[in-house]
Structures are given as structure tokens and as C-alpha cells.
């Protein structure tokens, strides 16, 4: 075992003394040492229930014949970080998390890891570490939140009943009292936000790839089932160590393709493009950006999930969960191995009935194509991403006038002050991985556009990214970004921009000679953040089309 390097032999007498100083009995020294990387924090609803799950994981580890050690991993709540300086830190924490898990596991020669996670950047960071380390690992996602319930029986959700409600209030659509009802009911308790936002999408894709136990991706945070999954995961990691089942044997190219298929079929978050690319990089799997679009044209959207649709995570779980999606996709899902022994096809066969109101059959899809599309054109020569599942039919093709803003706050102020009108294309730039730095999410301006009633007449494009809660014609991840001199930096107020999602095109209607003249006078702006670790991050982070990974090259 890896842990023998800190507990066996004369030379390890000091190491054993330190272990005994933590309370480890001599009788436990021959057992596998299992690290439990926990992102518990009081700051995030999705994580406040983890103390309970930690107990059950620990019970499972010891029941399975291992010895558990807990260590902490930081978490940032994207909702709380949204719309201010804090959002600069969100995506970069993904790299910190991967580095911290790697550091602790390697320094202490842990034999295996249980990765207890839930929210947006924490789950992909944990998976990146698992792929990088390639030691036995299992992921426990803490589960989604129950939908909020109002007196009328209406279901409430975080994004539409807070961010979009803000704009509806500003527009005079709802009253003070109605806004307060939204605020009080949007988040009724522990768990990740109720719809198919980034946290829940990543939990589902983790299960899809075989890195967590069945139903882990959809079982609610408040459920006894989640406790049982936590216990079983603790038991399973010891078995994985004994059999040397490692993440790279599970997270194969086929497993990533399945993850993309499920994401497309459910209409999940566009952030998963960034995260799957980054995880694949750590796993040594080639995963080109174009693959998302190739699979998208062959994968119909089978579910109408909040925020762009009607169903919540609690509905998806009851309807059949991930295995139910496998069953409905049929042979489009590749038969791959999971870390718990069953293959994806065996999981599909284990489901007797699927609620086809929630997860439709291939012959009756919500939409003929998957939820995510990859666009290109003279604004985005290396690609851009749109969550087309959240775009109305009226906005799939659109031409409008550029309204340019060099920071999210400037755009948000213009929207809330009523300066954005029908027919505009809001251009928010210098918000990419380097330029942000940190590639901030644009949930506030996109929600404000929807709340102002402009969702069918205004588009937004950015080299930043969007929350999984975003809906409407919002195109992000534009590469190259403005800070690297990408064409989005050359757009000027009043230019015409054409969006054609069916044709996968995003074009600035300006001739090449004019663009070249603009390029000759363009100069990179001064960095927005000069100190702290974000300044270092900006120097090593790569483009969005590569997953915004950090590279020493």
C-alpha cells in the first residue's frame, strides 16, 4: 500500500509516532489509509449538511476495513460570489482544489480518497485531482435542495425567484411583498440549487462517468438515501484500494462521451464544457471542443429541466435519474465500466419504468438537438458556447446592434437603468480567464435581461461564462478572449452582429480590412487585479476552448 511509506519499517518510527499522536491505534496501522476530502462549510447551502454525510462515510470506511482521515477543502458559493469581486475567485478555486487534494494525498501517501463535494467548481476540482493522482477514488456529491413551496402550491427555485425576480421588481412587474415571498422561499434548506445548474449537472455527469454510486447524482440532500450512499461509498473505497481500481480506468474517452451525451440530453449547464475539458486533460484523454457539437447534433434533448424548463432535480430523481436517462438514450450510450462494477448498459437494464413526462423517449424529444451548441465565426474563431436549450425559437437566429462594455458591472448598470433596448447585442468583454481574471459568470445581467422582459429581443455575448441558471440567447466562452487580442476586443458600439445557432455561426458584420485597422491600434488594457494569487493565475491560465486550465508552458 502507498501508506506503507509512512507506517512500515524502522525508518518510519517518527512517522508512526506522529500518527499515534493523532489517535491512530497500533491495531489500525495495517489497514488502508483513506483520506476523506470534505468541502464542508457553513457558507454554502449545498455543503451545510456534509457533517452528517462525513459520519456515514467514516462508518463505511471502518466497516469496510479501512481507517479514515478527514481533511478540508475550500468552497465558494457562486450565487453569493455573483456580481462583485468575489466572482473573480470562483473558477480559479477549481485549480486550488485540485492542487490541495493532490498535495495532501501525496504528502501523506494516502491509499485512497473519498471526495465529498457538491457545488460548482468543487466537484470538477475534485475530479481533476482524482484523474491527476490516479489512485483509488470515489466521489460523494451531497445532493440537491428541495424546491421551495409557496402557499399556492407553486414551486420556487433559486435563480428565477431571486436574480430574475430582482429585475421583475425593478420593471414594476412584482411588488415588494411578492419579492419578499420569492426571497423567503427560493432556498428552503440544505442542498445544491434545485434546477439543472452547474452543481447538479456535474453531480449527474460524475455518476454518468462511473465515479460515484448509482443515484448519487440526483438523491436529495435531505434524504436517508444520501446517507446510505455515503456509507456505501466509504465501504466501496476500501474495496477499490484492495483491487487497485483507479480513476483513469473509469474516466475513459467513452465515459467522457457518455457524460457529454447525458449533459446534452438533459439540457445541462454550459460550464460543463469547461470542466469536462479540464478533467479530460488531467486524465490524459483527448477531448476536442468540437466533439460537444458533433454529439449534440445526434443527441436530442429529452428533458425540460429548470431553469429553462419545468422540472426540478427531485422530479428527475423520481423519474429514473441517471440510469433512466441511460435507458432512454439506449445505444447512444456506450457500454462502459463503473467503479462499482456494473456497466452503463446494466444500469439502464436495472430500471423497469421511466417517467416519460420527465425523461422523454428518443421518439418524442423536447428538442431535436442537445442542450449545448458550439459556435464559431469571426468573433470567435476558436469557438463559443451557448446553452441552446434555454433559447427561444424566436432567438435562434438574430441580428442586432452591438452595445459594448468592458466589465460586467458596466453592463449590469445599463440593463437596470433601462438603457438596453430590443434589438441590442450586449457585448461584455475582458472577462475571460486572463482578462477577468477568473472568467466571471454573468448570471446577474442575463437574469436581468430576462426579468426586464427582453429575453426574446436582446442577445448577450461574452468571453466570460454563464451560470447553469442562465437562460436566453447568451453566448459565452468566446475564444480567443479580449485580453489576448481576440476579435471580441475589436467590436465597437453600433456594429452589427449576427447570431445563427442552427448554422453554428456568430459573426461581426464588419469587413476584414476594417478589423485589421482596428487591430493595429488595439492595446492590451492594464490588468484588473495586480496583486494576490489571481495575478499569478492570470499569467498561467489558458483559453476557454482548452478548459481554462493552468499550464506552466
Alpha carbon 94 to its chain's center:
10
Q: Are 270 and 468 in contact (CB under 8 A)?
A: yes
Best CA proximity match to 454, nearest among 410, 400, 407, 502: 400
Residue 224 CB-density burial (10 A; 0-12 exposed, 13-18 middle, 19+ buried): exposed
Q: Please indicate whether residue 304 is annotated as part of the active site.
A: no
Residues 6+ away with beta carbon under 8 Å from 460? 411, 425, 426, 427, 428, 442, 445, 446, 449, 472, 473, 474, 475
Phi-psi region of 419 (alpha: psi -120 to 50; beta: other; left: phi over 0): alpha
What is the full DSSP assignment across 369-405? S-SEEEEBSSS-TT-EEEEGGGS-GGGSEEEEEEEEE
Instruction: Given the residues 157, 467, 479, 543, select the one marked as catalytic.
Output: 467
**Residue 284 and residue 248 in contact, taking contact as beta carbons nearer than 8 Å:** yes
Give Rg (Cα) of the chain: 23
Specify which residues 430 forms β-bridges with: none
Segment (H or E) for 71: strand 67-72
Q: DSSP letter at 113? A: E
Q: Which three cell numbers stand for residue 501?
A: 445557432
| Strands annotated E in 397-453 | 397-405, 424-428
Provide the annotated active-site residues. Answer: 467
Amino acid at each position: 500500500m502507498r501508506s506503507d511509506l509512512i507506517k512500515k519499517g524502522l525508518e518510519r518510527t517518527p512517522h508512526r509516532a506522529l500518527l499515534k499522536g493523532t489517535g491512530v491505534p497500533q491495531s489500525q496501522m495495517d489497514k488502508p489509509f483513506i483520506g476523506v476530502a470534505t468541502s464542508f462549510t457553513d457558507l454554502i447551502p449545498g455543503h451545510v449538511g456534509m457533517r452528517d454525510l462525513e459520519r456515514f462515510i467514516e462508518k463505511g470506511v471502518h466497516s469496510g476495513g479501512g481507517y479514515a482521515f478527514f481533511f478540508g477543502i475550500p468552497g465558494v458559493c457562486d450565487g453569493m460570489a455573483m456580481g462583485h469581486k468575489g466572482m473573480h475567485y470562483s473558477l480559479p478555486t477549481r485549480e486550488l482544489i485540485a492542487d490541495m487534494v493532490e498535495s495532501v494525498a501525496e504528502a501523506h501517501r494516502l491509499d485512497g480518497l473519498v471526495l465529498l463535494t457538491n457545488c460548482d467548481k468543487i466537484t470538477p476540482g475534485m475530479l481533476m485531482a482524482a484523474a491527476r493522482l490516479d489512485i483509488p477514488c470515489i466521489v460523494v456529491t451531497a445532493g440537491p435542495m428541495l424546491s421551495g413551496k409557496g402557499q399556492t402550491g407553486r414551486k420556487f427555485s433559486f435563480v428565477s425567484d431571486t436574480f430574475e425576480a430582482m429585475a421583475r421588481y425593478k420593471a414594476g412587474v412584482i411588488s415588494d411583498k411578492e419579492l419578499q415571498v420569492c426571497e423567503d422561499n427560493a432556498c428552503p434548506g440544505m442542498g445544491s440549487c434545485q434546477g439543472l445548474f452547474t452543481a447538479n449537472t456535474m453531480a449527474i455527469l460524475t455518476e454518468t462517468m462511473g465515479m460515484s454510486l448509482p443515484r448519487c447524482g440526483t438523491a436529495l440532500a435531505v434524504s436517508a438515501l444520501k446517507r446510505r450512499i455515503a456509507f456505501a461509498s466509504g465501504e466501496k473505497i476500501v474495496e477499490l484500494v484492495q483491487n487497485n481500481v483507479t480513476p483513469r480506468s473509469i474516466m475513459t474517452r467513452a465515459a467522457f462521451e457518455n457524460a457529454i451525451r447525458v449533459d446534452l440530453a438533459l439540457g445541462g449547464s454550459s460550464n460543463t464544457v469547461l470542466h469536462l475539458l479540464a478533467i479530460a486533460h488531467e486524465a490524459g484523454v483527448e477531448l476536442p471542443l468540437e466533439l460537444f457539437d458533433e454529439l449534440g447534433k445526434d443527441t436530442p434533448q429529452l428533458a425540460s429541466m429548470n431553469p429553462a424548463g419545468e422540472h426540478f432535480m427531485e422530479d428527475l430523481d423520481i423519474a429514473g435519474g441517471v440510469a433512466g436517462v441511460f435507458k432512454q438514450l439506449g445505444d447512444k450510450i456506450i457500454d462502459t465500466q463503473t467503479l462499482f462494477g456494473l456497466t452503463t448498459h446494466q444500469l439502464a437494464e436495472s430500471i423497469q419504468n421511466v417517467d416519460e413526462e420527465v425523461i422523454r423517449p428518443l421518439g418524442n424529444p423536447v428538442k431535436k438537438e442537445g442542450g449545448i451548441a458550439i459556435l464559431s465565426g469571426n468573433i470567435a474563431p476558436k469557438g463559443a458556447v451557448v446553452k441552446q436549450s434555454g433559447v427561444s425559437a424566436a432567438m435562434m437566429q438574430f441580428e442586432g446592434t452591438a452595445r459594448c462594455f468592458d466589465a460586467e458591472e458596466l453592463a449590469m448598470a445599463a440593463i437596470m437603468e433601462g438603457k438596453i433596448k430590443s434589438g441590442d447585442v450586449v457585448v461584455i468583454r475582458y472577462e475571460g480567464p486572463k482578462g477577468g481574471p477568473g472568467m466571471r459568470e454573468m448570471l446577474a445581467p442575463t437574469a436581468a435581461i430576462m426579468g426586464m422582459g427582453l429575453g426574446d429581443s436582446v442577445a448577450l455575448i461574452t468571453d466570460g461564462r454563464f451560470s447553469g441558471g442562465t437562460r436566453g440567447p447568451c453566448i459565452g466562452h468566446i475564444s480567443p478572449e479580449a485580453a489576448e487580442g481576440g476579435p471580441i476586443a475589436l467590436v465597437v458600439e453600433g456594429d452589427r452582429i449576427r447570431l445563427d445557432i442552427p448554422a453554428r455561426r456568430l459573426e461581426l458584420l464588419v469587413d476584414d480590412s476594417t478589423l485589421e485597422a482596428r487591430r493595429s491600434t488595439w492595446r492590451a488594457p492594464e490588468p484588473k487585479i495586480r496583486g494576490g494569487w489571481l495575478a499569478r493565475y492570470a499569467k498561467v491560465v489558458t483559453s476557454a476552448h482548452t478548459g481554462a486550465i493552468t499550464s506552466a508552458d
